[in-house]
Amino acid sequence: MKGIVLFIGPPGAGKGSLAHMCVKQLGWVQLSTGNLCRKHIIEQTKIGKEIDFAIKSGNLVSDVLITSMVEEWLLQEYGKQPVVILDGFPRTAEQAKLLNNLVETKFKDLSVQVVTLDIPDTILVDRLSSRIICQNKDCQAVYSLSEGSLLRPAQDMVCDFCGSALGRRKDDEYEAVKERLTVYRRHEHGLLAFYKASNKSCIQLNVAQPITEVFKEFQEMIGLNTI
């Protein structure tokens, strides 16, 4: 398989967790636009200062800015690995159009595979209220404090991968979560309509099941043997 895989879904659907499994087990490479934005904020770059408020309050960064960040990353990573996952991009129909232009002009040999992840908002709110992430800006691994979850860290509040402290994201507070879900649903229809109209290959994943099952189903759907 070769190309760009787009993970499209509301906050809490598990885009980052699924992408992480693809990176670890399939050797793909992932760009999480959310992680990239948080890295800019922690490093207090010019972009970081510009987007800080939008992120904390659960709003989107501008289409042009986020697309230029994705373009810069793609230019660096292009060709290093056969499959690139974009996790959390595009999020609006405008971003989808901008990405389409980019692929047509600069990454002509890359096919685009759309993967949608969706479950009801009530489950998403629950998931986000128990989510914690690694505070190391270069790691940002995602965990859950839910009883019995497969995503619980081995040691309390310590990252399994890099040993840094775990903590809550500011935008996982209840008010920001509600805003993020509203913003996602506002753009969802236009975004999916764009891909439907452009005849891109589209896979719908059932993500209301344990992450290992989601990963298995995903591999089957894209034609990878899971045995």
Judged by CB, which is closer to ligand ADP: 110, or 124? 124
Stretch that binds ligand ADP, among 53-61, 113-121, 145-153, 212-220 (CB under 6 A): 53-61
Q: Alpha-carbon distance 95 to 59, whole Å?
A: 15
Q: Is 139 helix (H, G, I), strand (E, B) or coil?
A: coil
- 58 near ligand ADP (CB under 6 A): yes
The distance of Cα 112 from the centroid of its chain, to the nearest Å, equals 16
Cβ atoms < 10 Å from Cβ of 223: 7
Task: Mark residues 92-121: x for contact with ligand ADP by CB under 6 A, - for none.
Answer: ---x--------------------------
Alpha-carbon dihedral sign for residues 196, 179, 53, 158:
negative
CB of 45 to ligand ADP, least distance (A): 15
Q: Which of 60, 96, 98, 205 binds ligand ADP (CB under 6 A)?
A: 60
Measured distance between the N- and C-terminal CA atoms of the chain, rounded to whole angstroms: 18
Which spans of this chain sit near ligand ADP (rule: CB under 6 A)? 11, 32-34, 37, 54-55, 58-61, 66, 88-91, 95, 171, 180
